[in-house]
Amino acid sequence: MSSRAQIGESRIGCILQAMGVKTAASAPGDGVVGAKCDRVGDVEKGKIDRRGDVIKYVYEKEANFAVYRTDAGPQMHLSENDSERAKQNKAVVSVDQHRVEIATLLRQWRGYGVGNAEARVAGALVAALRDDVKGALATLDDVKRQVVAERQLRGRTWSLGFSFVIAAFIVIILLSVVWHLGNAELRPWCRVATAGTLGALFSSTIALREKKSPANLNRLENFVDGASRIFVGATGAAVLFLSFKSGLVSDIKIGGLTLNGSMSDDNVMVIGFLAGFLERLVPDFLGRKS
């Protein structure tokens, strides 16, 4: 090959490496991006591990093992010595179930991030490879609790966020109806539906604070949960108001409180708020009547 062709090929290789493209020209151990790691000593940031993934970060590297991170999460490169590798494999098997469970949770949640969870998993793997399996298991148990708690918190937060959005939308629509139509007969209905919406939103907020609301990272499920709570609150308030207005009931008891059918503004708001806050009030009431 001519020297000009060699220079051209070298330049192309440099450009491809700068773009993160793996090149066959990279020989193991040459220290450039794309070089494959065949031994523990070869493990370095930017090289390719045995799985074919790029090493993003090296957590720990010792003479007989290395723990590093790829896009798939924390990984290990074990010793080339057969007896040492057998001992390491035994330690890894002891913690592997916990590690896989955490990896699955994080893989389902890729893009959100859970603090230093992956770094702590890597630390647990290092401890296991140093023959501290008990300490590694304790760390992994704690990491799993952290990940699950964070997932639940974010799921509840999404659900409450959707509840606020739907509640704001309903209230704006009701206020617009009152403002533009100016129909006196519609005002009590708008008031009671607004109060029911606010009652349902208040109930959802308390459920989040007490960790009673469902927790899921599925956005659609969070939307359905948040929207349905508000819809049930507004609709329940309107149904209860209609029951009083039509004379179907004259009063209703809630604990030690007796709520009558007075159509005063204050009473209308109380009826709506309680119907929205107490989700089972109207369904239970309708069940008894049927």
pLDDT > 70? residue 60: yes
What does the pLDDT look like over 16-56, one tens digit per residue?
A: 344 444 443 333 334 445 578 888 999 999 999 988 999 99
Q: How far apart are the first and last CA of the chain?
A: 93
Q: What integer pLDDT is reported at residue 28 of this predicted model?
A: 39
Mean pLDDT (whole number) for 119-137: 92
Q: What integer pLDDT is reported at residue 78 of this predicted model?
A: 92
- pLDDT confidence tier of residue 245, bands split at 50, 70 and 90: confident
Measured CA distances, 120 to 67, 68, 136 (Å): 12, 12, 10
What are the helix and strand counts (H, E) for the chain?
Answer: 8, 5
Nearest-angstrom CA–CA distance, 197 and 204: 11
What residues contact residue 124 under an 8 Å CB cut-off, 6+ apart?
95, 99, 135, 136, 137, 139, 140, 143
Q: What is the mean pLDDT of the chain?
A: 77
Lowest-confidence region among 25-29, 70-74, 130-134: 25-29
What does the pLDDT look like over 152-190, one tens digit per residue?
A: 777 888 888 888 998 899 888 888 877 777 666 777 888
Residue 265 exposed, middle or buried by CB count within 10 Å (0-12, 13-18, 19+): exposed
Q: What integer pLDDT is reported at residue 280 of this predicted model?
A: 63
**Closest by Cα among 200, 206, 216 to 163:** 200
Where in the chain are the domains?
Answer: 1-35, 36-131, 150-289
What does the pLDDT look like over 92-123, one tens digit per residue?
A: 899 988 888 888 877 766 555 555 888 889 99
> Can you say whether the dihedral through the CA atoms of 49, 127, 81, 29 is positive or negative?
positive
Measured CA distances, 133 to 15, 85, 93, 237 (Å): 45, 15, 10, 58
Q: What integer pLDDT is reported at residue 216 of this predicted model?
A: 66
Q: What integer pLDDT is reported at residue 237 of this predicted model?
A: 86
**Closest by Cα among 145, 162, 152, 77 to 112:** 152
257 alpha-carbon distance from chain centroid: 40
Q: What integer pLDDT is reported at residue 17 of this predicted model?
A: 43
Strand-strand pairing, 57-61 and 66-70 = antiparallel
Nearest-angstrom CA–CA distance, 81 and 221: 50
Q: What integer pLDDT is reported at residue 217 of this predicted model?
A: 64
